[in-house]
Each structure stands twice: as structure tokens, then as C-alpha cells.
Amino acid sequence: METDKQTPFYQQHLALGARILPFAGYLMPIQYSGIMDEHRAVRNTVGVFDVTHMGEFVVKGPDAEAFLNRLTVNDVTALDIGQVQYSAMCYPDGGIVDDLLVYRFKDHYMMVVNASNIDKDYAWAKENLLKGVELRNISEKTALLAIQGPDSFAVLQKLTELALHNIPFYHFVEGELAGFPMLISRTGYTGERGFELYHDPAHSVRLWDALFTAGRDYDIQAVGLGARDTLRLEMKYCLYGNDIDQTTNPLEAGLSWITKLNSGDFIGRDVLLKIKENGPERRLIAFEMKDKGIPRHGYRIFAGDSEVGVVTSGTQSPSLNIGIGLGYVRSEFSRLGAELLIDVRSKKLKAELVKPPFVEARTV
Amino acid sequence: MNVPENLKYTNDHEWALVEEDVATVGITEYAAGELGDVVYVELPEVGATVAKGDSIGTIEAVKTVADIYSPLSGEIIEVNGALNDNSELINKDPFGEGWIVKIKLSDSSELSELLSHEDYKKLV
């Protein structure tokens, strides 16, 4: 068996006393001071996430745009140079291969995919490659830090001459930060303002140190995958493997907004058109616990006595101090305000179907 | 890792402080650390009779949920009501203010089956 890889920040995690677990082939920090504390740091000030485990593919060639437009459900032709797009790849049956980001550069594109799906996604992209399009997996050569929170701009601005406020949400620039060349992307998975910094792993440690020095006055904190999950869940951002996978399609997952059924053919489009016509049989809904209890992945959802669905993600919301969750329920039970019952270890606890996000996004 | 000498332990990471025929029970600092931030503690009813190894409650942390197993047989004579509003006491002071229940023992011979602090230290 292949041993788990260390990211370039591994020693930094150890020095901070992180709890480290293998995740998607990497030894990743799950938490440092505690999930609640780290979560609040991102909501209130600024946090730094090592997300080097994410996968990056470069797509190049005259037909790169056509290839990506067929591979992904969103409309790649709508992308400007310097813009980022949230998207997904589907199988012909509409099941989701992965959700991803697509970056448009002057003469190429970059796909950013989930860590646990890198091999699968690469094989899928390769299988569907158009002639003359070059596909290169640069995941091993790319380190990634996310800096997220209301003070992220202030901290990062100390380290670069670039005017960060001129980078709109879901856009990026290539430039120098802390003296190193990098891709500065105005993206994130937290619902807060922030950036993601793609860079050469050779510079990782010095970048980390520069960030923590610059962030000292802002109480900058390292944040692990535990709080990354509670932060994204408060936004109802989908997590592949929990809320979406090959057995779910983008329409039932609430991803119609990225699924452009009228902008050219893509893999899975035929099936999705039919699903759209009839309406999905189930929908991914967001709910808040009314009783004291925490919903978790796999718990059953009831409406009265009938079982109507299953929880895909759940946690105690550190911002709201109540249990929150996502789950699929049969569409007729997906009305806002409906009362649901969550089977929490054989106790049926009350929950209310709510309009996401659970906490207001402050990304812009 | 803090493992007080005056306590007895279980393989499931509970501790017991035995004073005459009453045991005060909680979970160890190691267990609290593994669970992470505790959000709710579900406590048993006072007056309930429990056997050694029975689940007497649950601890809900942000990422996970764990049963609390009774280290000894007897009757629940007191529960730590402070945990209803301050479940984080289990993280802050697992061997003190984060205690969970007090059990009036029905079979003191079970005490010999618990782990000493040396044995428990080897376990964690």
C-alpha cells in the first residue's frame, strides 16, 4: 500500500500540535486548537487552510474550450480570461463524477478537483479527451493555501503590491505575494471573503511563515479540515462523497444554477434534460434542528411516520449553536418550512426545512 | 497526557473515583481530546439501575458521537446537571468539573477489574 504523503506544511502542522489523519492519500491536519475555535476565527478574523491535497489539471490546446464544455455541465464559453467557474462533471446517466473549479488563462485552462477523486477524474478526462488537447496532472507540483475571513484582505495586502480589492469574487491574477510567484484566486469554501494561493511547494514554508507574521495582529489561525467542513456546511456548499456522488445528479443536488442545459452538449445532458422536464424525484434540502441533537451522515429522515429521505451531511453549527444538516428527501416533502423528523439514534427529533445558506455568505 | 493516580480506568476511556461505595464517573482527558469539542451530553435518569458495560448516556461532539459506558454496576444517584448548559466542561476539566454521574455500587468486587493509572497510561 502506498504510504500517505506529507504536504510541504507538515512540519508546521506538527509544530502547532495539529491532530493529523490520513485523508485522500495525504496526512492532513483535522484540527489544531479545536473545531469551534477555528471556525469562529474564520468567521470573525482570518484563518489559513492547507488544502494542498486538492488536484490540479492543466488543459491546453486549440480545442481545450470545446473539450471542457463537453466534459463539464457549466458553460465554459462564458468564462473571461482571469475568471473562475464552479462546475461539475457528469457520467452519461447524469451521476456526478466530481464537482470542480475551472480557471481560464490566456492560453490554457486549469481544473481544480477534489483530492479523493484525482485519479478517477484524470482517467475520466483522459477517456473523453479531444484530439490535440493536452491534459496534464500538476497536483504533485502544486501547493495550495486558503486564507479566509473578514481580515484576509488586510493580511494579504501587507504581502503584495497587487491591489487585491481589484480582484472580483471568482477571479484570479498571477503575481507576486510574499516575494514568490503565485496564482492568487478570489475563491474559497467558507462563505467568507478570502483567497486561495496556488504556488510552488518549494516556497510553501516561507509563504506560511510570512502569512503568520503578517497576520499576527489579526489573530491569524491555522484551520483544519474539521472546521473546513462546518464552515462549508453552514453555506450548504456540497461535499463530494457526502452530498453528491455518482448516484446523485446536479439537478436534485440544487446545482441547476451551474448546469447549463441550453449552452451546447455535454456528457449527461440528455438524461438531465429529461429529469428537468419531469422534475427531480428527490431534492437536497437544508434543515435546522428544532430539538436538541446533531444530525449526521446516514441518519434517516421522516415526515410523520413515513421515511422520506436520508441525511447526507450534518453538524452542530458553531455559528448558530444548533444542529444543521443537508439531506435528500422525496420532492413532495421538500417544501420550505416543512417539519421533518430526524432519526437520531432511534429518537425522532424535530427539524425544519429552511432556505440555505444557514449563515449569510459574506464573500463579496 | 494527564492520567491522575487516584483514579481507576476502563478500556473505553472512562474514569472512576471510588469513595466508599460511591463512584464518580467521567471520561478521560484522552477521550475528550479524541472527541473534540463536546456539544451535548445525554445523561441517564437518577435512580436508574445500571450494569457494568451498559451505555448510560451519549456524548455528542461536533464531528462524532460516543456512548458513555458504565464502568461499574449500581444505581445512578446523581448526574452532573452542569453539563446540560456547559457541555464543554468535559473538554476543559474532564477529571473535575466535567464529571458525568455518581453511581452507588452494588458489586464492589468489580473494582478489581478496572485498570490502574499505570495500566491505563500504557493504553493511551
Assess contact for B85 and B37: CB atoms under 8 A: no
- Same structural domain for residues A109 and A46? no
- Same structural domain for residues A128 and A77? yes
Assess contact for B69 and B53: CB atoms under 8 A: yes
User: What is the rounded average pLDDT of the residues A158-176?
Assistant: 97
Is A65 a member of any domain? yes
Is A240 a member of any domain? no
Strands laid side by side in the B65-69 sheet = B38-42, B55-61, B65-69
The whole-angstrom separation of Cα A48 and Cα B70 is: 41
Tell me whether residues B62 and A318 touch, CB distance under 8 A: yes
Q: Indicate the pairing of strand A300-303 with strand A339-344.
A: antiparallel
- Domain stops at, among A233, A256, A291: A233
Closest Cβ–Cβ partner in A36, A292, A345 for B62: A36
Cβ neighbors of A125 (< 8 A, separation 6 or more) are A57, A59, A71, A89, A111, A135
Residue percentage of chain A with pLDDT more than 70: 99
Strands laid side by side in the A134-137 sheet = A84-90, A96-104, A108-113, A55-60, A134-137
Closest Cβ–Cβ partner in A31, A37, A316 for B39: A316
CB atoms within 10 A of CB B76: 22
- Same structural domain for residues A216 and A91? no
pLDDT at A276: 96
Residue in chain A closest to B39 (alpha carbons) equals: A316
Residue percentage of chain A with pLDDT more than 90: 98
Is A263 a member of any domain? no
User: What is the rounded average pLDDT of the residues A159-166?
Assistant: 97
Q: Write the DSSP assignment of B23-84 as a string of letters.
A: EEEEE-HHHHHHH-SEEEEEPPPTT-EE-TT-EEEEEEESS-EEEEE-SS-EEEEEE-THHH
CATH code where residue A341 lies: 2.40.30.110
- Domain stops at, among A111, A139, A167: A139
Is A363 a member of any domain? no
- Same structural domain for residues A41 and A148? yes
User: Has residue A1 got a pLDDT over 60?
Assistant: no
- Same structural domain for residues A44 and A60? no
CA dihedral A145, A258, A63, A127 (to 10 degrees): 80
The total number of residues shown for chain A amounts to 364
Confidence of residue A107 (pLDDT cuts 50, 70, 90): very high
Q: Which cell goes with A281?
A: 424525484
- Same structural domain for residues A135 and A72? yes
Is A187 a member of any domain? yes
Is A189 a member of any domain? yes
Residue in chain A closest to B57 (alpha carbons) equals: A345
CATH code where residue A40 lies: 3.30.1360.120
The total number of residues shown for chain B amounts to 124
- Same structural domain for residues A224 and A92? no
The whole-angstrom separation of Cα A21 and Cα A252 is: 32
- Same structural domain for residues A352 and A290? yes
Q: What is the pLDDT of residues B21-46, one digit of tens each?
A: 999 999 999 999 999 999 999 999 99
Assess contact for A201 and A143: CB atoms under 8 A: yes
- Same structural domain for residues A318 and A332? yes
Q: How many structural domains compose chain A?
A: 3
- Same structural domain for residues A69 and A183? no
| Smallest Cα distance from A35 to chain B, Å | 7
Query: A31 CB near a chain B CB, below 8 Å?
Result: yes
Query: B37 CB near a chain A CB, below 8 Å?
Result: yes
Tell me whether residues A35 and B60 touch, CB distance under 8 A: no
Confidence of residue B1 (pLDDT cuts 50, 70, 90): confident
CATH code where residue A61 lies: 3.30.70.1400
Query: A35 CB near a chain B CB, below 8 Å?
Result: yes
Assess contact for A235 and A361: CB atoms under 8 A: yes
Is A198 a member of any domain? yes
Is A213 a member of any domain? yes
Closest Cβ–Cβ partner in B40, B58, B62 for A315: B62
- Backbone phi, psi, residue A361, to 5°: -75, 140
Closest Cβ–Cβ partner in A35, A37, A293 for B63: A35
For residue A156, the enclosing domain spans 5-51+142-233
- Same structural domain for residues A169 and A62? no
Tell me whether residues B65 and A296 touch, CB distance under 8 A: yes
Chain mean pLDDT for chain B: 95
- Same structural domain for residues A34 and A161? yes
Task: State the number of CA atoms in the 13 A half-sphere of B64 facing the CB.
Answer: 9
**B94 to A319, B26, B53: CA distances (angstroms):** 25, 7, 20
Q: Which neighbouring-strand residues pair with A185?
A: A172, A196
Task: State the number of CA atoms in the 13 A half-sphere of A237 facing the CB.
Answer: 20
Which of chain A's residues have a Cβ under 8 Å away from the Cβ of B58?
345
User: What is the rounded average pLDDT of the residues A190-196?
Assistant: 98
| ipTM score for this prediction | 0.81
Cβ neighbors of B107 (< 8 A, separation 6 or more) are B52, B72, B73, B74
Tell me whether residues B65 and A293 touch, CB distance under 8 A: no
Q: What is the pLDDT of residues B51-104, one digit of tens each?
A: 999 999 999 999 899 999 999 999 999 999 999 999 999 999 999 999 999 999
Query: B49 CB near a chain A CB, below 8 Å?
Result: no
- Domain stops at, among A214, A233, A252: A233
